[in-house]
Amino acid sequence: MPHELHKESRLLIQEALKDPLVRIPRALKSDYYSHQKGLHLKYLLQVNLFAQFAYASYTLADIYVLTDVHTLLIITKLGFTVLMTLLTIWIYHHKQNLPLFDLLLPTSIIGASAVWFFNLNQSESPYTQIYQYASLVFIVLANLSVHVHFKPSLITSALITLMIYIGVYFNVDGDRQQLILFSLIYLPVLSFSIYISWNSTLKSRIVFLQHTLNEYNRQAFEHMAHTDSLTGLNNRRSFEYLAHRHLLSIVEEDHPDPTSLIVFDVDHFKKINDNYGHDIGDKVLKIIAETACSEMRPTDILARYGGEEFIALLPNTHLDDALKIADGLRQRIERTEVAIDQQQSLRFTISVGAAILETCENDLYTLIKQADIALYQAKANGRNRVEHYDPFVSPILEPQVHGSWSNDRPIKIVGE
Protein backbone atom coordinates (compact mmCIF):
# COMPACT_ATOMS: atom_id res chain seq x y z
CA MET A 1 0.00 0.00 0.00
CA PRO A 2 1.28 3.54 -0.71
CA HIS A 3 2.53 5.20 2.43
CA GLU A 4 2.03 8.91 3.08
CA LEU A 5 5.08 9.94 5.07
CA HIS A 6 4.45 11.65 8.41
CA LYS A 7 0.80 12.26 7.48
CA GLU A 8 -0.37 12.45 11.10
CA SER A 9 2.50 14.72 12.12
CA ARG A 10 1.86 17.05 9.19
CA LEU A 11 -1.80 17.36 10.17
CA LEU A 12 -0.80 18.11 13.77
CA ILE A 13 1.61 20.81 12.61
CA GLN A 14 -0.97 22.43 10.33
CA GLU A 15 -3.46 22.55 13.21
CA ALA A 16 -0.81 23.96 15.57
CA LEU A 17 0.06 26.75 13.12
CA LYS A 18 -3.61 27.76 12.98
CA ASP A 19 -3.70 28.02 16.78
CA PRO A 20 -2.98 31.62 17.95
CA LEU A 21 -0.82 30.18 20.74
CA VAL A 22 1.05 27.88 18.32
CA ARG A 23 1.38 25.04 20.81
CA ILE A 24 3.92 22.34 20.01
CA PRO A 25 2.10 18.97 19.62
CA ARG A 26 3.10 16.51 22.34
CA ALA A 27 4.33 14.02 19.74
CA LEU A 28 6.84 16.61 18.48
CA LYS A 29 8.10 17.92 21.84
CA SER A 30 11.27 15.83 21.73
CA ASP A 31 12.02 16.97 18.17
CA TYR A 32 11.34 20.57 19.20
CA TYR A 33 13.88 20.41 22.02
CA SER A 34 16.45 18.78 19.75
CA HIS A 35 15.93 21.47 17.11
CA GLN A 36 16.15 24.31 19.63
CA LYS A 37 19.15 22.71 21.29
CA GLY A 38 21.09 22.87 18.06
CA LEU A 39 20.11 26.51 17.56
CA HIS A 40 20.25 27.95 21.06
CA LEU A 41 22.28 25.89 23.55
CA LYS A 42 25.66 27.40 22.72
CA TYR A 43 24.10 30.84 22.36
CA LEU A 44 22.46 30.54 25.79
CA LEU A 45 25.81 29.55 27.30
CA GLN A 46 27.35 32.72 25.86
CA VAL A 47 24.43 34.85 27.10
CA ASN A 48 24.68 33.38 30.60
CA LEU A 49 28.42 33.92 30.84
CA PHE A 50 28.16 37.45 29.44
CA ALA A 51 25.33 38.33 31.86
CA GLN A 52 27.36 37.05 34.80
CA PHE A 53 30.37 39.05 33.64
CA ALA A 54 28.17 42.15 33.29
CA TYR A 55 26.74 41.58 36.78
CA ALA A 56 30.25 41.35 38.21
CA SER A 57 31.40 44.40 36.24
CA TYR A 58 28.45 46.39 37.53
CA THR A 59 30.05 46.10 40.96
CA LEU A 60 32.19 49.13 40.01
CA ALA A 61 29.06 51.26 39.66
CA ASP A 62 27.69 49.80 42.89
CA ILE A 63 30.87 50.71 44.76
CA TYR A 64 30.73 54.24 43.34
CA VAL A 65 27.18 54.75 44.66
CA LEU A 66 27.28 52.54 47.75
CA THR A 67 30.77 53.36 48.96
CA ASP A 68 30.09 52.43 52.58
CA VAL A 69 29.42 48.76 51.77
CA HIS A 70 32.06 48.21 49.09
CA THR A 71 33.68 45.25 50.87
CA LEU A 72 30.35 43.50 51.31
CA LEU A 73 29.53 44.20 47.66
CA ILE A 74 32.74 42.63 46.42
CA ILE A 75 32.36 39.53 48.58
CA THR A 76 28.67 38.86 47.93
CA LYS A 77 28.39 39.83 44.26
CA LEU A 78 31.64 38.31 43.07
CA GLY A 79 31.03 35.20 45.16
CA PHE A 80 27.56 34.80 43.66
CA THR A 81 28.96 35.38 40.15
CA VAL A 82 31.66 32.74 40.56
CA LEU A 83 29.12 30.24 41.92
CA MET A 84 26.68 30.78 39.02
CA THR A 85 29.48 30.70 36.43
CA LEU A 86 30.70 27.33 37.68
CA LEU A 87 27.13 26.01 37.82
CA THR A 88 26.45 27.24 34.27
CA ILE A 89 29.55 25.55 32.86
CA TRP A 90 28.81 22.32 34.73
CA ILE A 91 25.22 22.15 33.46
CA TYR A 92 26.37 22.89 29.91
CA HIS A 93 28.98 20.12 29.90
CA HIS A 94 27.17 17.47 31.94
CA LYS A 95 23.43 17.98 31.45
CA GLN A 96 22.92 19.55 28.02
CA ASN A 97 19.33 20.13 29.14
CA LEU A 98 17.85 22.88 26.98
CA PRO A 99 14.66 23.63 29.00
CA LEU A 100 16.80 23.91 32.13
CA PHE A 101 19.40 26.04 30.38
CA ASP A 102 16.73 28.30 28.92
CA LEU A 103 15.60 29.20 32.45
CA LEU A 104 19.05 29.23 34.04
CA LEU A 105 19.67 32.96 33.59
CA PRO A 106 16.17 34.06 34.73
CA THR A 107 16.54 31.78 37.76
CA SER A 108 20.00 33.10 38.58
CA ILE A 109 18.66 36.66 38.30
CA ILE A 110 16.27 35.90 41.18
CA GLY A 111 19.33 35.32 43.36
CA ALA A 112 21.28 38.16 41.77
CA SER A 113 18.51 40.67 42.50
CA ALA A 114 18.29 39.41 46.10
CA VAL A 115 22.05 39.91 46.57
CA TRP A 116 21.92 43.37 44.98
CA PHE A 117 19.02 44.61 47.10
CA PHE A 118 20.60 43.14 50.22
CA ASN A 119 23.64 45.36 49.63
CA LEU A 120 21.46 48.33 48.69
CA ASN A 121 19.56 48.10 51.96
CA GLN A 122 22.77 47.78 53.96
CA SER A 123 24.03 51.11 52.64
CA GLU A 124 23.47 54.53 54.20
CA SER A 125 24.08 56.29 50.89
CA PRO A 126 21.63 59.15 50.12
CA TYR A 127 21.30 57.83 46.54
CA THR A 128 19.76 54.45 47.32
CA GLN A 129 16.18 55.50 46.45
CA ILE A 130 17.33 56.74 43.06
CA TYR A 131 19.69 53.85 42.50
CA GLN A 132 16.93 51.28 43.11
CA TYR A 133 15.61 52.00 39.60
CA ALA A 134 18.69 50.29 38.22
CA SER A 135 16.97 47.04 39.22
CA LEU A 136 14.80 47.32 36.10
CA VAL A 137 17.66 45.78 34.15
CA PHE A 138 17.10 42.49 36.00
CA ILE A 139 13.62 41.84 34.60
CA VAL A 140 14.58 42.98 31.09
CA LEU A 141 17.65 40.77 30.98
CA ALA A 142 15.75 37.78 32.39
CA ASN A 143 13.06 37.85 29.69
CA LEU A 144 15.41 38.72 26.85
CA SER A 145 17.24 35.44 27.40
CA VAL A 146 14.15 33.17 27.12
CA HIS A 147 13.78 31.37 23.77
CA VAL A 148 12.14 28.00 24.41
CA HIS A 149 9.56 28.09 27.24
CA PHE A 150 7.18 30.98 27.86
CA LYS A 151 5.06 29.69 30.76
CA PRO A 152 8.04 29.00 33.08
CA SER A 153 9.34 32.48 32.25
CA LEU A 154 6.15 33.91 33.75
CA ILE A 155 6.99 32.15 37.01
CA THR A 156 10.57 33.44 37.03
CA SER A 157 9.30 36.94 36.13
CA ALA A 158 6.88 36.80 39.06
CA LEU A 159 9.65 35.69 41.44
CA ILE A 160 12.05 38.38 40.20
CA THR A 161 9.29 40.98 40.55
CA LEU A 162 8.56 39.76 44.08
CA MET A 163 12.24 39.98 45.00
CA ILE A 164 12.51 43.49 43.53
CA TYR A 165 9.40 44.73 45.33
CA ILE A 166 10.60 43.31 48.64
CA GLY A 167 13.90 45.11 48.13
CA VAL A 168 12.21 48.38 47.15
CA TYR A 169 9.76 48.15 50.06
CA PHE A 170 12.57 47.96 52.60
CA ASN A 171 14.64 50.55 50.75
CA VAL A 172 11.84 53.18 50.91
CA ASP A 173 10.70 52.06 54.38
CA GLY A 174 7.29 51.13 53.03
CA ASP A 175 6.57 54.63 51.70
CA ARG A 176 3.40 54.28 49.64
CA GLN A 177 4.13 57.17 47.26
CA GLN A 178 7.60 55.80 46.50
CA LEU A 179 6.15 52.35 45.83
CA ILE A 180 3.51 53.80 43.48
CA LEU A 181 6.14 55.83 41.64
CA PHE A 182 8.36 52.78 41.28
CA SER A 183 5.40 50.73 40.02
CA LEU A 184 4.53 53.36 37.40
CA ILE A 185 8.00 52.91 35.95
CA TYR A 186 8.55 49.22 36.62
CA LEU A 187 5.26 47.70 35.43
CA PRO A 188 5.45 48.97 31.81
CA VAL A 189 9.02 47.66 31.64
CA LEU A 190 7.83 44.33 33.06
CA SER A 191 5.00 44.14 30.50
CA PHE A 192 7.32 44.98 27.63
CA SER A 193 9.89 42.38 28.73
CA ILE A 194 7.19 39.70 29.02
CA TYR A 195 5.99 40.61 25.53
CA ILE A 196 9.56 40.18 24.27
CA SER A 197 9.73 36.77 25.94
CA TRP A 198 6.39 35.74 24.44
CA ASN A 199 7.35 36.94 20.99
CA SER A 200 10.72 35.18 21.14
CA THR A 201 9.27 31.84 22.20
CA LEU A 202 6.40 32.17 19.70
CA LYS A 203 8.88 32.78 16.90
CA SER A 204 10.90 29.74 17.99
CA ARG A 205 7.80 27.54 17.83
CA ILE A 206 6.70 28.88 14.45
CA VAL A 207 10.18 28.49 12.95
CA PHE A 208 10.42 24.91 14.22
CA LEU A 209 6.97 23.92 12.98
CA GLN A 210 7.47 25.52 9.57
CA HIS A 211 10.91 23.91 9.24
CA THR A 212 9.54 20.50 10.25
CA LEU A 213 6.52 20.79 7.95
CA ASN A 214 8.75 21.78 5.03
CA GLU A 215 11.05 18.83 5.74
CA TYR A 216 8.11 16.41 5.96
CA ASN A 217 6.71 17.79 2.70
CA ARG A 218 10.10 17.46 1.02
CA GLN A 219 10.36 13.84 2.15
CA ALA A 220 6.80 13.16 1.01
CA PHE A 221 7.45 14.64 -2.45
CA GLU A 222 10.71 12.73 -2.69
CA HIS A 223 8.89 9.56 -1.68
CA MET A 224 6.21 10.21 -4.29
CA ALA A 225 8.84 10.86 -6.96
CA HIS A 226 10.49 7.50 -6.30
CA THR A 227 7.49 5.37 -5.40
CA ASP A 228 4.78 3.73 -7.45
CA SER A 229 1.53 5.21 -6.19
CA LEU A 230 -0.52 2.03 -6.62
CA THR A 231 1.74 -0.60 -5.07
CA GLY A 232 4.03 1.44 -2.83
CA LEU A 233 7.08 -0.18 -4.46
CA ASN A 234 10.01 1.66 -6.00
CA ASN A 235 9.13 3.07 -9.38
CA ARG A 236 11.27 2.70 -12.50
CA ARG A 237 13.34 5.80 -11.82
CA SER A 238 14.09 4.77 -8.25
CA PHE A 239 14.93 1.20 -9.26
CA GLU A 240 17.38 2.30 -11.93
CA TYR A 241 19.07 4.70 -9.53
CA LEU A 242 19.43 2.09 -6.77
CA ALA A 243 20.47 -0.65 -9.19
CA HIS A 244 23.08 1.57 -10.88
CA ARG A 245 24.46 2.49 -7.46
CA HIS A 246 24.82 -1.17 -6.55
CA LEU A 247 26.50 -2.06 -9.84
CA LEU A 248 28.94 0.83 -9.48
CA SER A 249 29.83 -0.36 -5.99
CA ILE A 250 31.03 -3.74 -7.31
CA VAL A 251 32.84 -2.52 -10.44
CA GLU A 252 36.22 -2.11 -8.73
CA GLU A 253 36.06 -5.38 -6.77
CA ASP A 254 38.50 -8.10 -7.88
CA HIS A 255 36.00 -10.84 -7.08
CA PRO A 256 32.58 -9.21 -6.94
CA ASP A 257 29.66 -11.05 -5.42
CA PRO A 258 27.23 -12.45 -8.00
CA THR A 259 24.25 -10.28 -8.85
CA SER A 260 21.08 -11.64 -10.41
CA LEU A 261 17.96 -9.97 -11.74
CA ILE A 262 14.42 -11.23 -12.23
CA VAL A 263 11.62 -9.72 -14.29
CA PHE A 264 8.04 -10.94 -13.91
CA ASP A 265 4.61 -9.90 -15.07
CA VAL A 266 1.00 -11.01 -14.80
CA ASP A 267 -0.21 -13.62 -17.25
CA HIS A 268 -3.25 -12.53 -19.28
CA PHE A 269 -3.38 -9.19 -17.48
CA LYS A 270 -5.18 -7.51 -20.37
CA LYS A 271 -7.94 -10.14 -20.17
CA ILE A 272 -8.28 -9.55 -16.43
CA ASN A 273 -8.75 -5.82 -17.01
CA ASP A 274 -11.11 -6.35 -19.95
CA ASN A 275 -13.25 -9.00 -18.25
CA TYR A 276 -13.35 -7.80 -14.65
CA GLY A 277 -12.40 -4.13 -14.74
CA HIS A 278 -9.36 -2.11 -13.81
CA ASP A 279 -10.23 -2.17 -10.12
CA ILE A 280 -9.71 -5.96 -10.09
CA GLY A 281 -6.55 -5.48 -12.13
CA ASP A 282 -5.28 -3.01 -9.56
CA LYS A 283 -6.04 -5.48 -6.76
CA VAL A 284 -4.02 -8.12 -8.61
CA LEU A 285 -1.03 -5.77 -8.90
CA LYS A 286 -1.24 -4.85 -5.21
CA ILE A 287 -1.38 -8.50 -4.14
CA ILE A 288 1.62 -9.33 -6.32
CA ALA A 289 3.54 -6.38 -4.84
CA GLU A 290 2.73 -7.45 -1.27
CA THR A 291 3.64 -11.07 -1.98
CA ALA A 292 6.89 -10.11 -3.70
CA CYS A 293 7.83 -7.84 -0.78
CA SER A 294 7.40 -10.73 1.65
CA GLU A 295 9.57 -12.99 -0.54
CA MET A 296 12.39 -10.50 -1.04
CA ARG A 297 15.31 -9.98 1.33
CA PRO A 298 16.21 -6.58 2.83
CA THR A 299 19.09 -6.18 0.36
CA ASP A 300 16.97 -6.90 -2.73
CA ILE A 301 15.74 -3.99 -4.84
CA LEU A 302 12.13 -4.52 -5.90
CA ALA A 303 10.10 -2.23 -8.16
CA ARG A 304 7.09 -1.96 -10.37
CA TYR A 305 8.82 -1.36 -13.68
CA GLY A 306 5.75 -0.41 -15.68
CA GLY A 307 2.22 -1.63 -16.34
CA GLU A 308 1.97 -5.21 -15.07
CA GLU A 309 5.75 -5.75 -15.08
CA PHE A 310 7.83 -6.02 -11.92
CA ILE A 311 11.58 -6.24 -11.51
CA ALA A 312 13.98 -7.17 -8.72
CA LEU A 313 17.76 -6.91 -8.46
CA LEU A 314 19.18 -9.59 -6.18
CA PRO A 315 22.65 -8.70 -4.86
CA ASN A 316 24.99 -11.48 -3.73
CA THR A 317 22.79 -14.06 -5.41
CA HIS A 318 23.82 -16.86 -7.78
CA LEU A 319 21.51 -17.70 -10.65
CA ASP A 320 20.38 -20.97 -9.03
CA ASP A 321 19.35 -19.08 -5.89
CA ALA A 322 17.60 -16.43 -7.98
CA LEU A 323 15.62 -19.17 -9.73
CA LYS A 324 14.58 -20.62 -6.36
CA ILE A 325 13.42 -17.19 -5.18
CA ALA A 326 11.56 -16.63 -8.44
CA ASP A 327 9.85 -20.02 -8.35
CA GLY A 328 8.89 -19.58 -4.70
CA LEU A 329 7.27 -16.28 -5.62
CA ARG A 330 5.53 -17.86 -8.62
CA GLN A 331 4.10 -20.68 -6.49
CA ARG A 332 2.81 -18.32 -3.80
CA ILE A 333 1.07 -16.14 -6.35
CA GLU A 334 -0.40 -19.19 -8.08
CA ARG A 335 -2.14 -20.07 -4.79
CA THR A 336 -3.43 -16.53 -4.27
CA GLU A 337 -6.97 -15.40 -5.00
CA VAL A 338 -8.60 -12.02 -5.43
CA ALA A 339 -12.31 -11.64 -4.70
CA ILE A 340 -14.45 -10.59 -7.64
CA ASP A 341 -17.72 -10.63 -5.72
CA GLN A 342 -19.27 -12.58 -2.85
CA GLN A 343 -19.53 -15.77 -4.92
CA GLN A 344 -16.48 -15.65 -7.17
CA SER A 345 -12.75 -15.15 -6.80
CA LEU A 346 -10.00 -14.98 -9.39
CA ARG A 347 -6.73 -16.87 -9.46
CA PHE A 348 -3.87 -15.54 -11.53
CA THR A 349 -0.28 -16.43 -12.33
CA ILE A 350 2.99 -14.79 -13.28
CA SER A 351 5.79 -15.62 -15.66
CA VAL A 352 9.37 -14.91 -14.60
CA GLY A 353 12.61 -14.34 -16.45
CA ALA A 354 15.98 -14.40 -14.69
CA ALA A 355 19.52 -13.40 -15.63
CA ILE A 356 22.86 -13.06 -13.87
CA LEU A 357 25.49 -10.37 -14.22
CA GLU A 358 28.32 -12.25 -15.92
CA THR A 359 30.98 -9.54 -15.82
CA CYS A 360 31.32 -6.04 -14.43
CA GLU A 361 31.31 -4.80 -18.03
CA ASN A 362 27.63 -5.76 -18.35
CA ASP A 363 25.49 -2.70 -17.74
CA LEU A 364 22.08 -2.64 -16.10
CA TYR A 365 20.13 -2.36 -19.32
CA THR A 366 21.91 -5.37 -20.83
CA LEU A 367 21.01 -7.37 -17.73
CA ILE A 368 17.37 -6.24 -17.94
CA LYS A 369 17.23 -7.14 -21.64
CA GLN A 370 18.57 -10.61 -20.89
CA ALA A 371 15.97 -11.16 -18.15
CA ASP A 372 13.28 -9.85 -20.52
CA ILE A 373 14.32 -12.39 -23.16
CA ALA A 374 13.99 -15.12 -20.53
CA LEU A 375 10.55 -13.74 -19.61
CA TYR A 376 9.43 -13.99 -23.24
CA GLN A 377 10.72 -17.56 -23.26
CA ALA A 378 8.54 -18.32 -20.21
CA LYS A 379 5.54 -16.81 -22.00
CA ALA A 380 6.24 -18.89 -25.11
CA ASN A 381 6.60 -22.07 -23.07
CA GLY A 382 3.12 -21.78 -21.60
CA ARG A 383 3.28 -19.07 -18.92
CA ASN A 384 3.22 -19.59 -15.15
CA ARG A 385 6.85 -20.65 -15.19
CA VAL A 386 10.40 -19.42 -14.60
CA GLU A 387 13.06 -19.29 -17.30
CA HIS A 388 16.64 -18.03 -17.19
CA TYR A 389 18.65 -16.32 -19.89
CA ASP A 390 20.91 -18.66 -21.84
CA PRO A 391 23.27 -16.90 -24.26
CA PHE A 392 23.71 -20.14 -26.25
CA VAL A 393 20.01 -20.42 -27.03
CA SER A 394 18.60 -18.30 -29.82
CA PRO A 395 16.22 -15.74 -28.29
CA ILE A 396 12.58 -15.82 -29.23
CA LEU A 397 11.39 -12.77 -31.10
CA GLU A 398 10.04 -10.23 -28.66
CA PRO A 399 6.30 -9.58 -28.93
CA GLN A 400 5.19 -6.10 -29.90
CA VAL A 401 2.91 -5.84 -26.90
CA HIS A 402 3.85 -7.21 -23.49
CA GLY A 403 1.71 -10.20 -22.54
CA SER A 404 0.38 -10.75 -26.08
CA TRP A 405 1.57 -14.33 -26.44
CA SER A 406 -1.31 -16.59 -27.38
CA ASN A 407 -2.41 -19.18 -24.87
CA ASP A 408 -5.55 -21.22 -25.06
CA ARG A 409 -5.80 -21.83 -21.30
CA PRO A 410 -8.58 -19.69 -19.76
CA ILE A 411 -8.18 -17.60 -16.63
CA LYS A 412 -9.19 -19.73 -13.68
CA ILE A 413 -12.31 -18.58 -11.87
CA VAL A 414 -13.01 -20.10 -8.47
CA GLY A 415 -16.71 -20.54 -7.74
CA GLU A 416 -17.99 -20.90 -11.31
| Active site amino acids | 308
Q: How would you label 309-344 residue by residue, b for 16+ Cβ within 10 Å and e otherwise?
A: bbbbbbbebebeebbebbeebbeebeebebebeeee
Calculate ∠ Cα 230-231-234, nearest 5°.
Answer: 110
Q: How many CB atoms lie within 10 A of CB 60?
A: 9
CA distance linking residue 9 with residue 217, whole number of Å: 11
CA distance linking residue 367 with residue 250, whole number of Å: 15
Residues in Cβ contact with 267 at an 8 Å cutoff, skipping those fewer than 6 apart: 348, 349, 350, 351, 379, 383, 384, 403, 407
